[in-house]
């Protein structure tokens, strides 16, 4: 189902807005505007929808647990946020976390990004994959699957690896400890990927697990390719004048570029890496999302698409 911004905004119902402008300022990403009306029109209705999903999932679990006669302990509800580089996923994740934590039924909301599950640069360099960083093969998927398995199994504490954008690498001696959250938001460009038909098993007949198998609700942040490239270039220019100036930055060499050189460099990185990843791996996962947020050139969401029914495998649709 497709909703205009105005139509979607009415689904907020009576949900109060409890974020103020100062908190929003801290949650915004670089060059990603997030005015109060954007939160009220788009993200409050979305938080209400997810709240209903969380309640329904708990009710269903209680039915099953009542049937088999065991105490009910709801596993964390996992919300995935996917989309291209520069689409605004990080800001969306932070705002949504702040909103969901204000619902009385699930105050413990954690946010984990898949950046921490990238292979360290030393491993990527050894495998000749530094130019493929962010592509599916650059992630330690086994470690991410272990993390999600422990999360859903009710482990009291789980360690999530952390990533430094300053040094452009996983930080080996720093972890983010997760303690049985009510909701976990998992943000990353490839979180909605599904295996191909030929890769559905491990080679011994056992079904192969994917990250998407652990997701209860998913959001894809979408925009035209031209807007995404423009946002990436603008962010690159802002970083050139800020974070890249730090001598510890992996990208410190870019701080010495002129504006024209920086624009050319950013467009080259976009074309050779980010656009390629978008076309080969990310864009194809869009229709798997529960909700698609379609942004216009100014970063404001202009259309919301909501999938009512679960995805049906193609062979089932064909009646096989």
Q: Helix, strand, coil % (nearest 5) of the chain?
A: 50, 20, 35
CA-nearest of 226, 298, 238 to 263 is: 238
Q: What is the pLDDT of residue 117?
A: 96
Tokens encoding 117: 């599950």
- Whole-number pLDDT of residue 304: 97
- Give the Å distances, CA to CA, from 313 to 16, 70, 218: 39, 33, 18
Rounded Cα distance between 303 and 38, Å, is 12
Buried b / exposed e along 239-257 (16+ C-beta atoms within 10 A): bbeebbeeeebbbeebbeb
The confidence score (pLDDT) of residue 23 equals 79
Residue ranges of domains in the chain: 2-310
pLDDT at site 315? 41
Which CATH entry fits the domain spanning 2-310: 3.40.50.300, 1.10.760.10, 3.30.2080.10, 3.40.50.2000?
3.40.50.300
What pLDDT, on the 0 to 100 scale, is given for residue 195? 59
274 by DSSP, 3-state: which? helix
| pLDDT one digit per residue (tens) for the chain, 320 residues | 999 999 999 998 878 777 777 777 777 766 677 788 898 899 999 999 999 999 999 888 888 888 888 876 789 999 999 999 999 999 999 999 999 999 988 899 999 999 999 999 999 999 999 999 999 999 999 999 999 999 999 899 999 999 999 999 999 989 999 999 999 999 999 899 875 544 455 555 556 788 988 999 999 999 999 999 999 999 999 999 999 999 999 999 999 999 999 999 999 999 999 999 999 999 999 999 999 999 999 999 999 999 986 654 444 344 44
pLDDT, residue 76, reads 95
């Amino acid at each position: 189902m497709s909703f205009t911004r105005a139509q979607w905004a009415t689904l907020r119902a009576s949900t109060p807005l409890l974020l103020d402008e100062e908190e929003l300022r801290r949650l915004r990403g670089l060059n990603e505007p997030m005015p109060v009306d954007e939160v009220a029109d788009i993200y409050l209705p979305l938080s209400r929808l997810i709240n209903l999903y969380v309640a329904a999932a708990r009710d269903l679990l209680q039915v099953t647990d009542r049937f088999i006669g065991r105490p009910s302990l709801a596993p964390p509800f996992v919300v995935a946020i996917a989309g291209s580089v520069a689409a605004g996923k990080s800001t969306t994740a932070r705002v949504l976390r702040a909103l969901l934590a204000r619902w009385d039924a699930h105050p413990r909301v954690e946010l984990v990004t898949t950046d921490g599950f990238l292979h360290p640069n030393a491993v990527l360099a050894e495998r000749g994959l530094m130019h493929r960083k962010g592509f599916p093969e650059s992630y330690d998927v086994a470690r991410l699957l272990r993390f999600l398995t422990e999360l859903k199994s009710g482990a009291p504490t789980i360690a999530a690896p952390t990533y430094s954008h300053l040094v452009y690498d996983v930080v080996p001696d720093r972890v983010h400890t997760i303690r049985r959250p009510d909701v976990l938001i998992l943000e990353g460009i490839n979180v909605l990927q599904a295996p191909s038909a030929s890769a559905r098993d491990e080679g011994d007949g056992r079904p192969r697990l994917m990250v998407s198998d652990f997701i209860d609700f998913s959001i894809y942040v979408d925009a035209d390719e031209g807007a995404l490239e423009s946002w990436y270039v603008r962010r690159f220019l802002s970083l050139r004048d800020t974070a890249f100036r730090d001598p510890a930055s992996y990208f410190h060499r870019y701080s010495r570029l002129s504006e024209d050189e920086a624009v050319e460099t950013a467009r080259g990185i976009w074309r050779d890496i980010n656009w390629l990843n978008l076309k080969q791996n990310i864009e194809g996962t869009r229709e798997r999302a529960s909700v698609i947020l379609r942004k216009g050139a100014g970063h404001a969401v202009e259309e919301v698409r909501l999938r009512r029914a679960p995805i049906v495998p193609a062979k089932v649709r064909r009646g096989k």
